Amino acid sequence: MQLHHVTLFVRDAERSIRFYRDGLGFTILIDREFEGDWPGLFGVASKRLRAVILGDPDRPHQVELVTFAEPVPDGPPVSPPVTGTVILAFFVDLRAVLPALLGVGATDVRQTTLSNGNAAATVRDPDGILVELLDVGRPTGPRS
């Protein structure tokens, strides 16, 4: 078994595209609308959705942004993680990516140094989804 993609129901596709494409560097692989039995599959009112799949053409992991023709209600307010909270985690060049994400609307920025000496941060995407950023291996502690 292999995880193929993660689907996020978002309020504004364009705003979320800016976050994941311009902030994290993903490429848009698919951007189209689909008719389907979305009420039967997801329990929503709309039979039409827009799916934007972002990723790296050379890697299997993708993020799918879905908006419905008839919007779904907003989720619970941003809070500390609770059971059922989803966190998307990415290896990134934190020094380059964090300012880019702030420029496209990331909020609730938190930073730390992990026990291995590498930097890590969390931010909230435009819909409040928690995103973990793991630096690609540059220790932040004192160098000898």
Q: What is the pLDDT of residue 13?
A: 96
- For 31, the domain range is 5-68
Percentage, residues of the chain above pLDDT 70: 94
From the centroid of its chain, how far is CA 94?
A: 15
**What's this model's pTM, rounded to 2 decimal places?**
0.88
Compute the distance between CA of residue 68 and CA of residue 74 in angstroms, rounded to an integer.
Answer: 13
Q: Under a CB-based contact definition with an 8 Å cutoff, are residues 58 and 51 in contact?
A: no
Give a yes or no: residue 49 inside a domain.
yes
**Residue that has been written with the tokens 């995407």 in this structure:** 125
Domain boundary among 38, 68, 98: 68
Phi, psi of 19 (to 5 degrees): -65, -55
The 10s digit of each residue's pLDDT in 55-79 is 998 888 899 999 999 989 988 877 8
Mapped onto helix, strand or coil, the DSSP state of residue 142 is coil
Give a yes or no: residue 80 inside a domain.
no
Q: Looking at residue 108, which CATH number applies to its domain?
A: 3.10.180.10
